[in-house]
Amino acid sequence: MLNDGVLVLFGARESEDLHYGFFQDTNFLYLTGWEEPGAILILTPEADQADPAYAQRAKLPREILFLPQRVPGMEKWTGRKLGPSDATAGAATGFSAILPAERFESELRQLLESYPNLYTTGSEAMENLRRIAPLRNIQDVKGRLGNLRMNKSENEIARIQRATDVSVDAHRAAWKALRPGQFEYQIAGVMTATFMSSGCPRGAYAPIVGSGPNSTILHYSRNARRMDSGELAVMDVAAECGNYASDITRTVPVNGKFTKRQREIYDVVLGAQNAAIAALKPGVTISQLTSIAREYINSHGKDLQGQPLGKYFIHGLSHHVGLDVHDESTVTAPLKAGMVITIEPGIYLPEESLGVRIEDIFLVTPTGSRNMSGALPRDPDELERALAQPK
């Protein structure tokens, strides 16, 4: 990908904020698979025999993983970490060259004697590298790594499917528990418990359970309101399993039955989703799919003033999913088989305290797409039947 320079990625540091657990930088995780804090990665390109500097570059290491030294005092608080001198370091990391993090700067300066450029991701990393090599050309390659991550391997697809299956189970558990008078956080708790009991350590994002007026807030996550009969609840909740995310939203009536107006809006959103799904195949772009969904919404249904509903579809239709629930993506790039995206139209009517979003996750196939979350009903009649099952 980069044949004229050195790629440097910094892994995430251990958080001192007790509100959050450790999250590895996803680009670092993508290239290394390493999940402990404080590591640094150096990659150099394969030497080209036609390059005048081939003899010098061929002797250089292609990859080095730098690990922090163990600090036994800290390990009493955060657990044992793998150190660079541990006998199992090579087998545990998959890297043949493992060095202490203290040697990073000297090793980098030595490599830069053979390469003119530096590549990394993020402003903080660029500032760190400018301090070490102030005269070098340093470029951010987040977008280029994102382009790689858009194309999923079979293993990645399997992990996303696992996260999706667990997420489907969580939505079904929520429907079984749902009843008027409960608080949004109670349903979010049921769904989170389903993730953990299934072996998935966390959600792919903060759970969104928005009822009544909160159903019109796109990323509402306070989940503090009591849900009452006659309202809709938007449940945008999904698991992360094996470091890979899913992303599913369903909108359901709290008392199990849609009102006429709720069903009217729901049917428009469902129709827009179906129109986009029908067009989903290799070669189309997310921008084109968004236009299809928006055109459908604009030509079906009205607000209370008799105006088209398109202006109430106020977010993007789709994004890529992978190590991040919103993976790096380009909405104008043609989709390819092996990519995983969402299709999620929505209509949000604050004056009616009525919001509807339907979101599923799709694998692009050579001839079209496969709904990875298709086991979870979308049809309003099916939803009502599922909600009517004994509590």
Residues serving a catalytic function are: 17, 219, 236, 247, 315, 319, 326, 344, 348, 357, 359
CA–CA distance, 149 with 140 (Å, rounded to integer): 16
Three-state DSSP class for residue 372: coil
Q: What's the token pair of residue 81?
A: 């970490």
Amino acid identity for residue 318 in this structure? S
Amino acid identity for residue 323 in this structure? L
Q: How far is CA 79 from the centre of its chain?
A: 27
Amino acid identity for residue 52 in this structure? P
Q: What's the token pair of residue 126?
A: 């660029």
**108: number of CA atoms within 13 Å, CB side?**
27
User: Is residue 63 a contact partner of residue 97, using CB atoms and an 8 Å limit?
Assistant: yes
The dihedral region occupied by 212, where left means phi > 0, alpha psi between -120 and 50, and beta the remainder, is left
Q: What's the token pair of residue 264?
A: 């009217």
Q: What's the token pair of residue 79?
A: 């657990």
User: Is residue 343 a contact partner of residue 379, using CB atoms and an 8 Å limit?
Assistant: no
CA–CA distance, 5 with 43 (Å, rounded to integer): 9
CA–CA distance, 321 with 24 (Å, rounded to integer): 17
Amino acid identity for residue 233 in this structure? A
The angle formed by the CA atoms of residues 229, 232 and 235, to the nearest 5 degrees, is: 125
Angle between helices 123-132 and 104-111 (to 10 degrees): 80
* Phi, psi (deg, nearest 5) at residue 98: -125, 125
Amino acid identity for residue 153 in this structure? S
